[in-house]
């Protein structure tokens, strides 16, 4: 069961009006060994939805995206990247290699999945991935509750920055690069999975 740790930057919060402008991901096998990373900017079709507020978060301007491909080119490329990294032979447009066992992971990852699914629908492409997901926000909430009950100090918020800081990690920059955030999220997941072996019920 491969794990695809995903982070997406958008022009705003609303699928259908706002759009994906950057996809970052790190792919892992079922033992959490890294199989590679992916980063691609995307030029938005709806330039009107590009907000200054979102630019403050991701640090990308329309000028930065000027030479980026459109989403209809990026989605097949992204899918093929996953297939290649998993060592799955290339199929046909009608019968591509299955990715239905790939679990998408991320921080509050349902938002990223919603945008990605919407893009797939808009481009009339079949959703290739599993319907399972692993959310760092939820994992953090449960683990920190257990740790706090056992007398340990835990973060007061569950932002990616706060969770990463708990494990001694931090972003290199204040703006959100999708690949950097995906990799930071993956590092946090790996630390939580290490904790699984230490949790004992009494």
- The Cα 160–Cα 152 span in angstroms is 19
List the domains of the chain with CATH numbers. 3-134 (3.30.420.10), 136-196 (no CATH)
DSSP tag of 99: B
DSSP-assigned beta bridge partners for residue 104: 4, 133
Taking 70 as the threshold, does the pLDDT of residue 11 lie above it? yes
195: confidence class by pLDDT, cuts 50, 70, 90: confident
Going from the C-alpha of 190 to that of each of 20, 33, 77, 162, the distances in angstroms are 27, 10, 27, 16
Give me the torsion for CA of 134, 140, 29, 90, rounded to 10°. Answer: 40
The mean pLDDT value for 169-197 works out to 87
Structure tokens at 158: 């569950």
pLDDT tens digits along 79-116: 999 999 999 876 655 566 789 999 999 999 999 999 99
Structure tokens at 177: 């690069």
- How many helices (H) and strands (E) the chain has is answered by 6, 5
Taking 80 as the threshold, does the pLDDT of residue 25 lie above it? yes
175: confidence class by pLDDT, cuts 50, 70, 90: low
pLDDT tens digits along 123-156: 999 999 999 999 999 999 999 998 899 899 999 9
């Amino acid at each position: 069961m491969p794990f695809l740790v995903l982070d997406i930057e958008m022009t705003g919060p609303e699928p259908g009006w706002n759009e994906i402008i950057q996809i970052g991901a790190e792919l892992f096998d079922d033992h959490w060994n890294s199989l590679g990373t992916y980063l691609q900017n995307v030029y938005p079709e709806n330039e009107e939805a590009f907000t200054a507020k979102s630019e403050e978060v991701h640090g990308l301007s329309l000028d930065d995206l000027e030479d980026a491909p459109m989403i209809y080119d990026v989605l097949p490329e992204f899918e093929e990247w996953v297939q290649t990294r998993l060592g799955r032979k290339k199929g046909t447009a009608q019968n591509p290699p299955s990715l239905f066992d790939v679990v998408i992971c991320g921080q509050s990852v349902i938002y990223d999945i919603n945008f990605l699914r919407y893009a797939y629908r808009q481009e009339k492409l079949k959703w290739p991935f599993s319907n399972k997901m692993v959310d760092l926000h939820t994992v953090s909430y449960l683990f920190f509750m257990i740790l706090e009950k056992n007398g340990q100090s835990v973060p007061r918020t569950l932002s990616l920055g706060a969770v990463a800081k708990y494990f001694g990690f931090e972003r290199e920059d204040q703006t959100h690069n999708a690949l950097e955030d995906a990799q930071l999220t993956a590092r946090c997941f790996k630390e939580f999975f290490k904790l699984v072996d230490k949790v004992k019920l009494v």
